[in-house]
Amino acid sequence: MKKFLEIDKRLDSFKKVITVEGDKSLSIRWVLISSLSKKKSVAYNILKSEDVMSAVDCIKALGSKVRFLKNRCEVIGNGMSFNSKKKLILNAGNSGTLGRLILGLLVNSKNKIKLVGDKSLSKRDFSRVTQPLKKFGAKFNGRKVLPLEMKGTETPKAITYFEKKGSAQCKTSVMLAALKAEGLTTIKAKKSRDHSELMFKHLNIPIKVKKKNKVFDYIKIKGVKKINSLNYNIPGDISSCAFFIVLTLLSKNSQLLIKNININPTRIGIIKILKKMGGLVKFINKRSYKGEKISDIFVKSSKNLKGINCPVKYNSSAIDEFLVIFLVAAKSKGISFFKDLSELNQKESPRLVWSSKILTLMGVKNITTKNSIKIFGNPNLFLKKKIYIKNFSKDHRVFMMSVIAALTFGGKWKINDLDSIKTSFPKFLDILKKIKH
C-alpha cells in the first residue's frame, strides 16, 4: 500500500448520500462496559478501527470473550472483577480514550499490570487519570506517561473528584472506577461528552446527573456488584462526518446528505460554530436512541462564510473538529479567533501547532499562541503551489484535515502517513471515492 497520498485537483459539484462508520467514543465505551457483564452483549455497526481493536484486545487479555460476526460484535465479559495473569501487559496503541478509560476499569486489579502505547500516546499526560485513581486506592509507579505500571486495590473506596479540563476521558475513567468502589463517588465535572452517563443510565446503574449550570455537571455514582448486558446499535461518528461537512461547505455547487449520525448535544459544537459562520447545514429526521440523539445531516456549498469570535462554551463539544473548522475560517470573510484551546495540543499530535503550520504552508496568515489561534480569512484563496505534509506523528485527523484542504483550496499536495486513518476512520478514502464518482 502507498504510504502517502497525492492530490492535485479540487473537488466540486457533487450531490451524494453517504454514511460514515460507527462512533469511536461509543464503540470504545461499549467494548469496555460490556466486558463488565457476564451476559452476552451485542453491538451493531461498531467501528472496526485500530483504536477499537486495541480495546477489544485489552478486554480479551483481561478474560472477556469477543466474537465478530458478519454484522455484529458479541462480548461475554467476566463481571466486575477479573483474574489477570501476573505481569500482564496491555497495549492501548494510539488511543488516549482507551488508555485513560482502561485504567479506571483496572482499579480493582489484583496483580500488577503494565500499560503501554505507541510513540504518540507515550508522549501524552496520564497523571490526569492516575491522580484521581490513586484516591480510590490504586498504586502507580510514579510516571506521568506510558509505559505505566499499576496495581489496583481489592477494596476501592468511593472518592470526591473535581474534573476541571472538560475531559470526558478523565470523567469516564473515574466513573468506571466508581462502579467498582464501595460507597458513593461524587464528581463535579466541567461539561464534556456524556455518552458514559447515558450508557450507565440505560443499564440502570445507580447514577444521578445534575446539570445545575452551563459550566459544570454534578454526577453521583454508587458502586455495583454486577451489571447487565449492553446491546447497542452504534450510530455514525460526527467527528468523521465533520471532514465531509467541511468538504461540502467549501466546494462549489455541492450537497451531501449524511445518514444516521450521533448528534448528542455535547458533540455538536462544530454544527453550532459553522452555522454562526454562515454554513448551510441542518439536521433532518431527528430521533432518540437509548438517551442519545441521532439525525441525518444535510449540508450545502456555502458562499457567504464569515469569521467568528468563537465562544469558549463550544470548545469541549467541538474539540476533535477544530482542525477542519480552521479551514472554514481560512475561507471566510474577516478574522476568526479561537481561544482557551490548550487541550488541542494534548492530542495525538499538538494540533494547534499543526493547524498553524498547515495554514502557514497554505499562505493563510495566522497568529497562534499556546492556547489560541487568530485566522485571517480569504474567501478568494485558491492555491497553485506545492505543499508537503510530513512528520505529524501520524495523527489521523491531521492527515484527513490536509486531504480536505487539498480538495477545497487546490494546489499540489503530498500527504504522508496514509495508514494513519486506520486509527479512527478506515473507510475515509473509500467514502471520498464514492463522493467523487
Query: How many CA atoms within 13 Å lie on the side-chain side of 157?
Result: 3
> Pick from 190, 191, 193, 331: which binds ligand S3P (CB under 6 A)?
193
Closest listed residue to residue 435, CA positions, set 282, 299, 271, 284: 299
Q: Which of residues 328-357 bind ligand S3P (CB under 6 A)?
A: 343
Is residue 174 involved in binding ligand S3P (CB under 6 A)?
Answer: no
Give the whole-angstrom CA distance, residue 307 versus residue 52.
36
The residue among 19 and 192 lying less far from ligand S3P, judged by its C-beta, is: 192
Which one of 320, 395, 417, 430 is the catalytic residue? 320
| Phi (first) and psi of residue 101, to 5 degrees | -70, -40
C-alpha cell at 211: 446539570
Q: Where are the beta strands (DSSP E) in 171-279?
A: 184-190, 207-210, 216-222, 232-233, 255-262
The residue among 409 and 425 lying less far from ligand S3P, judged by its C-beta, is: 425
Do 354 and 395 touch, CB atoms closer than 8 A? yes
Give the whole-angstrom CA distance, residue 214 versus residue 195.
18
Is residue 25 involved in binding ligand S3P (CB under 6 A)?
Answer: yes
Selected range binding ligand S3P among 42-50, 148-156, 161-169, 384-392, rule: CB under 6 A: 161-169
Is residue 420 involved in binding ligand S3P (CB under 6 A)?
Answer: no
SS3 208: strand
Q: Is 194 a catalytic residue?
A: no
Give the whole-angstrom CA distance, residue 108 versus residue 129.
15
* DSSP bridge pairs for 143: none
| Phi (first) and psi of residue 36, to 5 degrees | -90, -5
Selected range binding ligand S3P among 54-62, 168-176, 265-273, 293-301, rule: CB under 6 A: 168-176
CB of 392 to ligand S3P, least distance (A): 16
The residue among 54 and 192 lying less far from ligand S3P, judged by its C-beta, is: 192
Is residue 167 involved in binding ligand S3P (CB under 6 A)?
Answer: yes
CB of 193 to ligand S3P, least distance (A): 6
Instruction: Spell out, one character per residue from 296 to 325, where the chain touches ligand S3P: x when CB under 6 A holds, - when not.
Output: -----------------------xx-----
Strand order in the sheet with 15-19: 15-19, 255-262, 292-300, 280-289
> Pick from 97, 248, 262, 355: which binds ligand S3P (CB under 6 A)?
97
CB of 430 to ligand S3P, least distance (A): 22
DSSP 192-207: ---HHHHHHHHTT-SE
Selected range binding ligand S3P among 53-61, 167-175, 181-189, 284-292, rule: CB under 6 A: 167-175
C-alpha cell at 340: 482557551
Is residue 95 involved in binding ligand S3P (CB under 6 A)?
Answer: no
If residue 179 lies in a helix (H) or strand (E), which one and from where to where?
helix 168-180
Is residue 168 involved in binding ligand S3P (CB under 6 A)?
Answer: yes
How many residues in the shown chain lie near ligand S3P by CB under 6 A? 11
Applying CB under 6 A, the residues found at the interface with ligand S3P are: 25, 97, 167-169, 172, 192-193, 319-320, 343
Give the residue numbers annotated as catalytic, written as ranges.
320
